[in-house]
Structure 1
Amino acid sequence: MNRLTLLSAVCLAFVSPTVAQEDAKPKPQEPTIKAIQGTPEIDGKVDEAWKKAPRVNVNKPVEGLLAVDEDEMATATVRVLWDKDHLYALWQVKDSNLSADASDSWAQDSVEFFLDENQKRTTYYESDDAQYRVNYKGELSGQVAGFDESNLKAAARKTKTGYVVEMAIKIQGEPLTAGRKLGVELQVNDDPGSGERGAVAKWNHTDDDSWQDTSNFGTLVLQPAAE
């Protein structure tokens, strides 16, 4: 063995364990929502179509927007369905003090579904990206490049612990099919009775940037109908 070969072997002996350790580290799991195929009636009720849809929690506070105790802020569990032309979301919101007094719709007690249809994760909104909002009274609003109120249908009702919102979002691009992935974020706005937004809870990314940046959205995976 010549000196060059010996030196290479020594270097490899020192480097290889580190490389092996780095390769062995598990990759961070991508935040994912699984949506099953199904078409519910948009009436604010939990009908049969929703029964097998997995739930996700929208309960992570956005620190800079938390003006109440964390255990008092509004949170939600959400289920998502899909069919060829629509995404559907069922929000069951826990909120002890309902208010729509704020002049800004995003400051009222409401839920928001952020959608990036082509999942390009851009730091700005493209024409396929939109922010859909429904308050506890069932009033619709939204914004940014891809928003069109005619693409949103919703029903809402009060409950003993808060309110329920059921929404249908019409897809703008190619018809949906099983296996497709889309970018999403979910958010609950909370007016604790002050006429201003006192808390924001999110599903995935806890910075207040989803209204202008899709790069930190999680992933919605479309699955076949549950058996």
Structure 2
Amino acid sequence: MVQLITICGFALGSICQTESQKDSLPKRYDVLKTQHKIQIDGKVDKVWKKAAWTSYFQDIEGSKKPVPRFKTRVKMLWDEQYLYILAEMEEPHLWATLTDRDAIIFNDHDFEVFLDPNNDQEQYFEYEINALGTIMDLFMTKPYKKGGPMVMGWNSDRLLSAVQLKGTLNDNRDIDKGWIVEMAIPYKDLERPGRISQPQPGATWRINFSRVQWTMDMDGQSYKRRIGPDGKRLREDNWVWSPQGLIDMHVPEHWGYITFREK
């Protein structure tokens, strides 16, 4: 038996929604403008105190799935050059193996950003990073289900990023606390013919964040992904800011909204 929780509000009328309907509503976040230089080093300096944390991530399918085992949340700021992102992730077992640019980073634990400045679900950008700081970035002309191929040859060459580890990487002899990702996404790299790439105060873009997490087993002093009874590795967990309702990040109409604010 499934129990639905009803949430009702009253303002010039009555608005009621079930918890499952609430999952389908994209999350929203106001990105405040900063006048101060942000040093991209993976450290949470005082400039970040101005920004609020997002809600903690949920399973990609929403509240019908269990709450993620480890907490993840994000802050954002902006200025005339960059969209700044700070992600904080709990992680008792820091693990990463991939070191080559544009490797398939979600084969490690990773943090991902999906960004659609034009909010039309057509041309968007994806960034992935692991605990080694290795980057995969790509451009999508349209979602896969609409026939859009990924353009892996696109690189965000001006991207600034850093990772700060709270523990020891690939060492299972202790319990780690987590890791922090800091990014500065340059608007210059988002330029496309006839497209919006520079935010203005009050502008709204679509964005979502994903965290891929694997179930691990000990392997000597390091780790390996767990293999199931069928001899195949267990499926990864997908934890996101704004639930997609299905296991697919490439459905931009389900992403959250960010609005750029000066105050």
Which category describes the TM-score, using the shorter chain as reference length?
Answer: 0.7 to 0.9
Q: How far off is 1:74 after superposition?
A: 3.7
Contact between 2:60 and 2:240, CA under 8 Å: does it hold in 1?
Answer: yes
Structure-2 separation of matches of 1:58 and 1:40: 24
Q: How far off is 1:141 after superposition?
A: 0.8
Q: Secondary structure at the match of 1:111?
A: strand
Show the counterpart of 1:9: none
Instruction: Work out which of the two has the higher radius of gyration on C-alpha atoms and give 1 or 2.
Output: 1
Contact between 1:37 and 1:224, CA under 8 Å: does it hold in 2?
Answer: yes
Contact between 2:32 and 2:77, CA under 8 Å: does it hold in 1?
Answer: yes
Q: How far off is 1:63 after superposition?
A: 5.2
Query: So what's the TM-score if we normalise by structure 2?
Result: 0.65
Structure-2 separation of matches of 1:72 and 1:221: 27
Paired residues in the alignment total 193
Q: Which amino acid aligns with 1:208?
A: I
What is the root-mean-square deviation in Å for CA atoms of aligned residues?
2.7
Q: How far off is 1:42 after superposition?
A: 0.4
Cα-to-partner distance string for 1:21-71 (whole Å, 9 max, x where unaligned): xx934387652011111241101111121002010134211359xxxx956
Contact between 1:57 and 1:203, CA under 8 Å: does it hold in 2?
Answer: yes
Out of 44, 47, 52, the residue aligned to residue 45 of structure 2 is 47
Show the counterpart of 1:17: none
Q: Secondary structure at the match of 1:51?
A: helix
Show the counterpart of 1:7: none
Show the counterpart of 1:73: 69
Higher relative contact order (CA 8 A, sep 6+): 1
Q: How far off is 1:151 after superposition?
A: 4.1
Structure-2 separation of matches of 1:188 and 1:42: 20
Q: Secondary structure at the match of 2:157?
A: helix
Q: Secondary structure at the match of 1:115?
A: strand
Q: Which moved more, 1:131-140 or 1:189-198?
A: 189-198
Contact between 2:30 and 2:258, CA under 8 Å: does it hold in 1?
Answer: yes
1:110 aligns with 2:110: yes
Contact between 1:58 and 1:187, CA under 8 Å: does it hold in 2?
Answer: no
Query: So what's the TM-score if we normalise by structure 1?
Result: 0.74
Structure-1 separation of matches of 2:15 and 2:61: 28
Structure-2 separation of matches of 1:203 and 1:84: 25
Percent of residue pairs bearing the same amino acid type: 22
Structure-1 separation of matches of 2:74 and 2:138: 21
Cα-to-partner distance string for 1:162-190 (whole Å, 9 max, x where unaligned): 10010111122442222111000111111
Q: Whose helix proportion is higher, 1 or 2?
A: 1
Q: How far off is 1:82 after superposition?
A: 0.6
1:163 aligns with 2:152: no
- Cα 1:100–1:117 change in 2 (3 A) is same
Cα-to-partner distance string for 1:143-174 (whole Å, 9 max, x where unaligned): 23275231422100111511001011112244
Show the counterpart of 2:60: 62
Aligned 1:1-227 pairs, distance under 5 A: 24-26=13-15, 31-38=27-34, 39-62=37-60, 70=66, 73-101=69-97, 104-120=104-120, 122=121, 125-126=122-123, 129-145=124-140, 148-159=155-166, 160-171=176-187, 172-173=190-191, 174-193=197-216, 194-195=224-225, 198-206=236-244, 207-210=246-249, 212-225=250-263
Gaps of 5+ in 1: 1-22
Q: Which amino acid aligns with 1:157?
A: Q
Gaps of 5+ in 2: 1-11, 17-21, 142-153, 167-175, 192-196, 217-223, 226-232
Structure-1 separation of matches of 2:55 and 2:205: 18
Q: How far off is 1:136 after superposition?
A: 1.4
- Cα 1:191–1:101 change in 2 (3 A) is farther
